[in-house]
Structure 1
Amino acid sequence: MSGVLLFSFFVVITVTCYLATRKLFLTYRHPLLNPVFLSTVAIITMLKGTGLGLDDYRPAKEVMTYLLGPATVALALPLYHNRMVLREHMLPVMAGVMAGSLATMAAALGAGRLLQLDTTVLTSLGPKSVTVPIAVEISRLAGGDASLTAAFVVATGMIGSIMGPSLLSLCRVQSPVARGLALGTVSHGQGTAVALLESETAGAMGGVAMAIAAVFTALVAPYYLPLFLQ
């Protein structure tokens, strides 16, 4: 198969898998039907079944990954529609995201210390709940491993987007503002995507939380991480 045909094949397959799993999730609302998780499993299975590998898939992945930038900017639209909600809850939003950012770092680093992980792994684990570019830079400046950090960020987003909505429902958190903030703070982009599937308000708050958490973590991590590394 030529390069162009292979590229087109992978783009079509990826988009089709996502749309199909998104429809399943919206129909049944089961955590394991999370679109990112299920479509990832489907694509990996397809690659294994056809004998193709990551190198074959990479050109299509690069193009689709590039679209993450415009997709992130597009989060401004639901935020604009919900600007009055944000204005009414500005103080709780800021306080909640900052507290959540500190708590998620403390939980991960505390668990890492109990498991006696080495300093490099702990440093790489600290910024796991912010988006990859910022997390990798924080980790690099602190002496962590960028590849490990990227893996931790992806795993955090996947786990949070799968389990987060159910845990929030179990805790009887029904407010779309609170749900969006929690998912965006803990699970960055993937959590925000799931929040958008719940409602526009939850998605808008997830986008706000993702941005505030990234900036706040970048500012406090150089002072916060050493408390757990000493």
Structure 2
Amino acid sequence: MARSPLALLGVTLGGYQLGRWLQRRTGGHAVAQPVLVAIVVVGVAITVLDIDYPDYRRATELIAFWLGPATVALAIPLHRQASRLQGFVVPMLVAVAVGAVVSIVSAVWLARLLGAGEDIERTLATKAATTPVAIALTESLGGIPALAAVFAIITGIMSAILAPATLSVLRIRDRRARGLAVGAVSHGIGASRMLREDETEGAFAGLAMGLSALALSLLVPVCALFLF
């Protein structure tokens, strides 16, 4: 019974709800990310029950299906904030493109500096993209797609935890800039975090997530010509 699809689905949703409860109990502490808590709960559960990840993935296909509509729904707050785009479009596009290049180059150079193999370098190059995009780009580069998904998720979680506080320390107050910065590197996890903090920040984080994925899709192959 514990290995049934319904039970595994319940464990996943229960882990996420536990994360939300901890978040409320801690007053919205940055470390109390529901996604992070759910990952820990699910990881422990499938390890104890000796369930292979492919079996778990098939059992929770329903959740994966709803990720698409949930991502599209991020366009709703952006529509409400459409007037805030005035005079911001060009700087935004430039920032996303430059940020994508910096993300690719810095990840590859850091991996090279630490002595990683070229397959790891190619895998890390896509870490700032959303998980599906990172997997596809890594396959085209000859990296390790499964590891690319791990890097993308870790990047998203860590950025969602650290980025808002870092922006505050740097005295970046513009709601649009804050949302753009977080969404460009922390994907849907960061967008949901910013949406809880402020609707404008959440709207621009959602927009940045899409633009960053597009920019990385275009720039990773170009940068790869010079890096590898």
TM-score, normalisation: structure 1? 0.87
Would you say 1:78 and 2:77 are equivalent positions? yes
Hey, what's the Cα distance between the residues in 2 that align with 1:164 and 1:141?
Answer: 30
Match of 2:67 in 1: 68
CA distance in 2, matches of 1:8, 1:224: 40
Q: Is the Cα contact below 8 Å between 1:182 and 1:206 reproduced in 2?
A: yes
Question: CA deviation digits over 1:13-53, x for unaligned, max 9?
Answer: 1342243134246x2x43222222233324444556x6464
1:179: Cα distance to partner? 1.1
Q: Deviations over 1:99-144 (max 9, x none)?
A: 1111111221110121122111111110110111211111111221
| Counterparts in 2 of 1:169 and 1:225: CA distance versus 1, 3 Å | same
What's 1:92 paired with? 91
* Secondary structure of residue in 2 paired with 1:88: coil
1:134-173 equivalences under 5 Å are: 134-173=133-172
Query: Where does residue 174 of structure 1 map in the other structure?
Result: 173
Q: Residues of 2 paired with 1:17 and 1:59: CA distance? A: 23
Aligned twin of 1:132: 131
Task: State whether residues 6 and 59 of structure 2, in contact with CA within 8 Å, keep that contact through their aligned partners in structure 1.
Answer: no
Assess if the C-alpha contact under 8 Å between 2:179 and 2:194 holds in 1: yes
Deviation (angstroms), 1:211: 0.9
3-state SS, counterpart of residue 127 of structure 1: coil
Q: CA deviation at 1:7?
A: 4.5
Q: Which amino acid aligns with 1:16?
A: Q
Equivalent residues in 2 for 1:180-195, closer than 5 Å = 180-195=179-194
CA distance in 2, matches of 1:8, 1:41: 15
Q: How many residues align?
A: 226
Per the alignment, in what secondary structure is the counterpart of residue 164 of structure 1? helix
2:17 corresponds to: 16
Aligned partner of 2:110 in structure 1 is 111
After superposing the two structures, state which structure 1 stretch, 2-11 or 133-142, moved more: 2-11
Q: CA RMSD in A?
A: 2.2
The one-letter code of the counterpart of 2:72 is V
CA distance in 2, matches of 1:70, 1:208: 15
Q: Which residue of 2 aligns with 1:206?
A: 205
Structure 1 residues 85 and 60: alpha-carbon distance in aligned structure 2, compared to 1, 3 A threshold? farther
Conserved 8 A contact 2:126-2:148: yes
The question of whether the paired residues in 2 share the 8 Å contact of 1:113 and 1:228 is answered with no
8 Å contact kept, 1:21–1:39: no
Identity rate, percent: 31
Q: CA deviation at 1:5?
A: 4.8
2: CA distance between counterparts of 1:148 and 1:8? 24
C-alpha distance in 1 between matches for 2:141 and 2:13 = 40
Question: Which stretch has the larger CA shift, 133-142 or 32-41?
Answer: 32-41
Higher-helix-fraction structure = 1
Q: Is the 8 A contact 2:23 2:29 kept in 1?
A: no
In 2: Cα distance, 1:8 partner to 1:110 partner: 40
Q: Is the 8 A contact 2:15 2:37 kept in 1?
A: no
Q: What TM-score does the superposition give when structure 2 sets the normalisation length? A: 0.88
Tell me, yes or no, if structure 1 residue 38 matches structure 2 residue 37.
yes
Gaps of 5+ in 1: none
Deviates more, 1:30-39 or 1:128-137: 30-39
For residues 201-227 of structure 1, what are the alpha-carbon distances to aligned partners after superposition, in whole Å with 9 as ceiling and x for unaligned? 111101111111111111111111232
Q: Please tell me whether the aligned partners of residues 11 and 60 of structure 1 are also in contact (alpha carbons under 8 angstroms).
A: no
